[in-house]
Amino acid sequence: MEAVHFSPEQLKERFTFPGKLRNLVFGLIGTGIVVLILGIFIASGTDSHGEDTHAQASEQVVHPVSDTDQHGDGHGENGHGGHAITMMTHLGASLLNVSLFFFTIAMGTLFFLTVHRIGNSGWETAIRRVPEAITTYLPVGVVGFVAMFVLMDHVFEWLIVQPGADALIDTKRAYLNKGFFIVRNLVFFGVWIGAALWLRRLSLQEDLKGGLSFFNRSEVISAVFVIFFAISYTLFSIDWIKSLEPHWFSTIFGVYIFAGSFVSAMVVIYFIIVYLKQQGYMPYVNEAHLHDVGKYAFGFTVFWAYIWVAQYLLIWYSNIPEEGIYYVKRYRVGDDAYLGYAAFFYLNLFLNFFIPFFALMTRNAKRIPRIFIPVGIIMLIGHWLDLFQMIMPGAVGSHWAEGLIMNLGFMLIFGGAFIYVVFKSLTKANLVPVNHPYLEESLHHTTGPV
Amino acid sequence: MKKRFLLGKFWNPDDTLSALGKLREEGVWIHDVYSPFPIHGIEPYLNIKRTRLTIAAFIYGCMGALTALLLMGSIYGFIWPMDIGGKPSLAWPDFVPITFELTVLFSAHGMVLTFLIVGQYWPGKKVQLMDERQCDDVFVVAIDKEKIAPEDEGRISQLMNEHGAFEISEKEV
């Protein structure tokens, strides 16, 4: 094979934040704020009796309790069982949707980093700084969830329904209460962010001092993190998404969220590498590295579909009302209470599985950015839609359309912040861990003959 | 159809690779390299064509999926509908796992069989080795004599010698 040699200057090259990107970021955030305010304005206008702005609960856009109430216990399995949906509900649901979208991407990259460290894998060393930079978004992304601690009173059914009104929710109040919810989620965020920043710090120190001690220490941290991650990510996804419909059970839910976040994390890593290479950085990252990231994206779309079917199939087979209602809401056509969700239900499968599965099957599709990027954009939209159709039926019922503009606004603001934080972090260190023990292996990475 | 090969034999992969690099610079067509173990980084020298096994795998996978769907669809839908737990007998969710499994089964077994047939590995096949020691500790570079000019032969042999070949020979296979 041709010898690959890169001078130390090439390896110590740093990314400088381009002015164009800065303009893009400010453009996105600026537009986002305008769109958000517009969205809030429009959503407030649709609150039917908007005369009393102080008591949101009195503004009435009430869920019709439909015949989907299979309990027969009169609680109204359907969404919030008739609670008012206000502008604040839309605001909270949209914020939750967008916060989760970006936060899960960053968590996916953190998992990518740690699991490769434990596996003693070498190929990803040359691109390691990209996922490392994405994990620095985590502390910023938490802002969305902290805001949700305030807005959650308007979104989560178990906070809206009074104690005593719903026997099934009452049995879960020992776990689903606001105090414990906030405490445990703060612990999760703390540990995740702590691990992410610690790993990055060790990696940056390794650049300066060299030696194996940083590598060894990061391996221990990674191993402990992955165990904690498996448990805490499940609880995190149950807390923030599944508990929107507190009657529903799904034991595979955490894995489902993880599958989605890992796929989109791979897509984002791919995009950033392609962008950096286009700007002339990272000459040592070759098609083989892109190919491997692409393989992950391809493989985990299948994993996502696998988990999707696993969840659906078991619920379909057992046919228990508490479980089945989740899908009844999402694909029953002609049910006014959940109008439009059937389209999202099927679109979700196409965006997240059928399109990427067939489009990314060939070798070239993963190696040539021109082919991968359009598919990757579809997959990211799919990830957003996946979260959207998980959150909205439980949070706002059939009124999903009213929050869309706010959702777009949050998307632009968080997207701008995400780009800014990630690329800002990339400027702060070499684009490659120069003293990493596996660097040489990664520079010679190939994926074999055609 | 038998062909004559010019064989350069080496004791280690590093010499083999450096000789291959030199031969490639000279524009010599390498027929194949036989080695006791896979050599990392040898692929660019070997003129390996893009494998069509993946296309075959895709076709086998489609066949598997089709077989599963037709079989289950015809049996549960028309020939012998069964009531299991009150579920409709012709519904897609319970077809998914079996379709998936048969897709994997057909593509995996189809690929293995295709590989064995195309590689001519059938039972009772006489093994033809360039050099018996290629199964032990010798690395053999084979050059098709039809693809080199007769006057170049000496030069190529010398070149391989310079890069550590301990023996140059010819063999008809």
- Whether the CB of B85 is below 8 Å from some CB of chain A: the reply is yes
Which residue of B48, B58, B96 to mutate against A (max A Cβ within 10 Å)? B96
Amino acid A57: pLDDT:
41
What mean pLDDT do residues B128-141 have? Answer: 88
Amino acid A60: pLDDT:
40
pLDDT tier, B150 (very low <50, low <70, confident <90, very high otherwise): confident
Cβ <8 Å between A449 and B48: yes
Amino acid A449: pLDDT:
63
pLDDT in tens, B34-73: 999 988 778 888 878 888 898 999 999 999 999 999 999 9
Task: Report whether pLDDT(B1) > 70.
Answer: no
pLDDT in tens, A196-247: 999 999 999 999 988 899 999 999 999 999 999 999 999 999 999 999 999 8
Cβ <8 Å between A309 and B46: no
Residue A183 lies in a domain: yes
Nearest beta carbon to residue A309 from set B17, B48, B96: B96
Residue A415 lies in a domain: yes
pLDDT over 90, % of chain A: 66
- Whether the CB of B49 is below 8 Å from some CB of chain A: the reply is yes
Amino acid B121: pLDDT:
86
**Mind telling me how many Å the CA of B124 is from chain A's nearest CA?**
30
**Domain enclosing residue A217, as ranges:** 12-46+91-443
Task: Report whether pLDDT(B92) > 50.
Answer: yes
Average pLDDT, chain A: 87
Find residue A356's DSSP bridge partners: none
Task: Report whether pLDDT(B122) > 70.
Answer: yes
Q: How many CB atoms lie within 10 A of CB A187?
A: 13
CA-nearest residue of chain A to B46?
Answer: A449
Cβ <8 Å between A316 and B42: no
- Whether the CB of B42 is below 8 Å from some CB of chain A: the reply is yes
pLDDT in tens, A356-387: 999 999 888 999 999 999 999 999 999 999 99
Chain A hits for B58, Cβ within 8 Å: 361
pLDDT over 90, % of chain B: 38
For chain B, which domains are there? 4-50+129-172 (3.30.70), 53-118 (no CATH)
**Mind telling me how many Å the CA of A326 is from chain B's nearest CA?**
16
Proportion of chain B in helix, strand, coil states, percent, rounded to 5: 50, 15, 35
Residue A85 lies in a domain: no
Nearest beta carbon to residue B41 from set A1, A309, A312: A1
**Strand pairing of B165-172 and B4-10?**
antiparallel
Give per-residue burial for B16-39: e unless 16+ CB within 10 Å, then b. Answer: bbebbbebeeeebebbebbbeeeb
Task: Report whether pLDDT(A70) > 60.
Answer: no
Cβ <8 Å between B93 and A449: no
pLDDT in tens, A400-420: 888 899 999 999 999 999 999
Whether this model's ipTM surpasses 0.85 comes out as no
- Whether the CB of B38 is below 8 Å from some CB of chain A: the reply is no
pLDDT tier, A61 (very low <50, low <70, confident <90, very high otherwise): very low
pLDDT tier, A335 (very low <50, low <70, confident <90, very high otherwise): low
Amino acid A391: pLDDT:
94
Task: Report whether pLDDT(A77) > 60.
Answer: no
Total number of domains constituting chain A: 1
What are phi and psi for residue B44, nearest 5 degrees? Answer: -60, -20
What are phi and psi for residue B8, nearest 5 degrees? Answer: -110, 130
Identify the CA nearest to A403 among candidates A154, A62, A89: A89
Cβ <8 Å between A316 and B93: yes
pLDDT in tens, A194-206: 999 999 999 999 9
**Mind telling me how many Å the CA of A316 is from chain B's nearest CA?**
8
Q: What is the C-alpha radius of gyration for chain A, rounded to an integer number of angstroms?
A: 23
Task: Report whether pLDDT(A71) > 50.
Answer: no
Q: Please tell me which residue, B136 or A46, carries the higher pLDDT value.
A: B136
Residue A60 lies in a domain: no
Amino acid B149: pLDDT:
84
pLDDT over 70, % of chain A: 89
- Whether the CB of B62 is below 8 Å from some CB of chain A: the reply is no
Residue A75 lies in a domain: no
* Amino acid identity for residue A42 in this structure: I
Chain A hits for B97, Cβ within 8 Å: 309, 313
Give the integer Cα–Cα distance in Å for A415 and A407.
Answer: 12
Residue A429 lies in a domain: yes
Separation in Å, CA B105 to CA A248, B61, B62, B63, B110: 35, 8, 11, 10, 8
Residue A157 lies in a domain: yes
